[in-house]
Amino acid sequence: MLQIDGSIGEGGGQILRTALSLSLLTGKPFCLSNIRAGRKKSGLMRQHLVCVQAAKAVGHAVVSGDELHSTTLTFEPQTVQAGHYHFSIGSAGSTMLVLQTLLPVLMMQSQPSTLKIEGGTHNPMAPTFDFVQRCFLPAVAKLGIKADVVCKQSGFFPVGGGIIEVDIQPWMDRKAHVLLERGEIRAVNAYAGSLNLDTHIAERELATLANILTLGQQHHVPLSGQGQGNTAFVEVVSEHHTEVFTALGEMGRTAEQIAKHLANQVKRYLHATDAVDEHLADQLLLPLALGKGGEFSCRSISEHTRTQAGMIEMFLPVSVRLIEGDERFSSFIQVVA
């Protein structure tokens, strides 16, 4: 049984989710201690517990420590099974992080699977639905991975109530992928939407983004669901890659402030030459490691990415090279599978 210290690296929930995914894929059991020791509230929160419960169901695993606020977990996978699964977080916890846990496992099975996950779809400390749909899934589709996600209802903190449905096909045609140059910037498009709030919020965000960035298209995104919330995102469409930057409305911050912060993220990316932004970088490592490897340039290497690389090398016979200060790029990552 692998012994994993949850305080290593960034010390967050990513260690747990990656361990669950890789345990199911390799059959290796693990004991994880000091769960989320790097966070203000350590231990399993509701969304992390649902990740454990979901992995337990998919892999018929024998588990101990699967309770709220637990700081130690043992997980022994048995037989992984494709199928039709429904999980409810019961809070505004991120549905995207549950998907992040299960997608690598289910895409490696010989039969298709579907997921229905209820909870938050737009969370400040997790990838949003828009990022996953428009950036992450198109990026891994170039590796041959086929998955589609639909948002049936949007869910924001603190109410949640969001619903996503996911269709996952077996990964039949594994490809290596090289993404060093993003190529010509073809469009910069802005999107904003408000859930049960004044539509002027989204309109002001779009107007502010248009004043700062040279936009191709502007779209008001219709949102339906419980509670209230606001989201804005910018899609940078390049010749070889599409990157998405997101921002969520916050109490005490104006629509203009939210949009300016978002525009600054986009400007930093546009002024660099790297293909991938740091938020996508750590999410690409596991698909590359499970496939035929690859390499990509990125704007910076985050602690999330370093932690993810270490977790992958703990379970799989692969090498993840993280190189900063490359002659051509800000950073360069190579996965040798």
| Residues annotated as catalytic (active site), given as ranges | 304
Residues 6+ apart with CB under 8 A from 226: 153, 155, 159, 160, 161
CA distance 162 to 267: 31
Residue 70 near residue 37, CB atoms below 8 Å: no
CB distance 248 to 122 below 8 Å: yes
Calpha distance 243→139 (Å, rounded) = 9
CA pair distance 107, 171, nearest whole angstrom? 5
The token duo for 237 is 């469409």
- Per the CB < 8 A criterion, the answer to whether 301 and 333 are in contact is yes
The strand pairing partners of 328, in sequence order, are: none
What is the residue type of 3?
Q
In terms of Cβ atoms closer than 10 Å to its own Cβ (0-12, 13-18, 19+), residue 257 is middle
Whether residue 63 contacts residue 76, with contact meaning beta carbons closer than 8 Å, is answered with yes
